[in-house]
Amino acid sequence: MLRSVAEQAATELQEKIATLTGGEITSVNQVDRTLEWLAQHGCMLPNIQEKTLCEALNRPALSAPARQLIELRLDGAHAAVNKLTTMRAYVAADHRIRQAFRYHGAMPGRFTSLGVQLQNLKKPTVPDTAAAIGAVRTGVLAHVQARYAQPLSVVGDITRALIVPAPGHRLFIADLSGIESRGLAWLTNEQNKLARLRGLDPLDDHGGVAHRTADKTTLTGERRRRALAAPPIHRAPRGSRARRSYGGCAPCRSRRRR
User: Mind listing the pLDDT tens digit for each residue in 147-194?
Assistant: 988 888 888 888 888 888 888 999 887 777 777 777 788 888 888 878
What is the structure's pLDDT at 42?
A: 93
pLDDT 10s digits, 59-100? 999 999 999 999 999 888 776 677 888 888 899 999 899 888
Question: Exposed (0-12), middle (13-18) or buried (19+): which is 157, by Cβ within 10 Å?
Answer: buried
**Residue pair 156/122 in contact by the 8 Å Cβ criterion:** yes
Cα–Cα dist 67/49, whole Å: 15
What is the structure's pLDDT at 255?
A: 44
Cα–Cα dist 153/133, whole Å: 12
Tell whether the torsion through CA atoms of 144, 150, 152 and 155 is positive or negative: negative
What is the structure's pLDDT at 191?
A: 83
The band of 34, judged by pLDDT with boundaries at 50, 70 and 90, is very high
What is the structure's pLDDT at 154?
A: 87
What is the structure's pLDDT at 250?
A: 52
Cα–Cα dist 34/47, whole Å: 9
Residue 178 three-state SS: coil
Q: Are strands 101-102 and 112-113 parallel, antiparallel or unpaired?
A: antiparallel
What is the structure's pLDDT at 257?
A: 42
Cα–Cα dist 53/75, whole Å: 11
The band of 236, judged by pLDDT with boundaries at 50, 70 and 90, is very low
The band of 232, judged by pLDDT with boundaries at 50, 70 and 90, is low
Distance, CA of 227 to chain centre: 30
β-bridge mates for residue 113, sequence order: 101
Task: Determine which of 122-131, 188-197, 224-233 has the lowest per-residue pLDDT on average.
Answer: 224-233
In this predicted structure, the answer to whether residue 207 has a pLDDT above a threshold of 80 is no
Q: What is the mean pLDDT of the chain?
A: 78
How long is the chain?
A: 258
pTM: 0.59
